Amino acid sequence: MNERRTTRRCIDLIRILSFIKENHLRLAVIFVLLAFSSIVPLSVGVADKSELTKLILEDEDPLVNVNDLAFLLATHDFDAMPKGDYVEVRLDNTVYKLVPNGRYPGLANATLESRGIQVH
């Protein structure tokens, strides 16, 4: 009778350890998948000059202000900062100055501020 109980407990213990081991494996797989999925958007989110031009020319909003424009650009992966009456956009070692243009076509007028800056 004691031998049966001991054997039964051993079988139960093996089942419990097997269950825990399987769950650790599942958690490890989930962790690895989450780690890879968090890396992928970083490599995809690089904006370029043609995307900037497309964004400011295709949309129109006569009420857009400097903060709205900077926020819009930042949500599209641009390095944009409001600076007084314009938005400074740093892209490919070049600084662009974007001024909201109110009721005129597009969102802003863009001018080249400087080239060859060192971004740290």
> How confident is the model over 71-87, as pLDDT tens digits?
999 999 999 999 999 99
CATH architecture for segment(s) 49-115 = 2-Layer Sandwich (3.30)
Residue 3, pLDDT above cutoff 60? yes
**3-class SS string, the chain:** CHHHHHHHHHHHHHHHHHHHHHHHHHHHHHHHHHHHHHHHHHHHCCCCHHHHHHHHHHCCCCCCCHHHHHHHHHHCCCEEEEECCEEEEEECCEEEEEEECCCCCCCEEEEEEEECCCCC
pTM confidence score: 0.58
User: 17-38: per-residue pLDDT in tens?
Assistant: 676 666 666 656 666 666 666 5
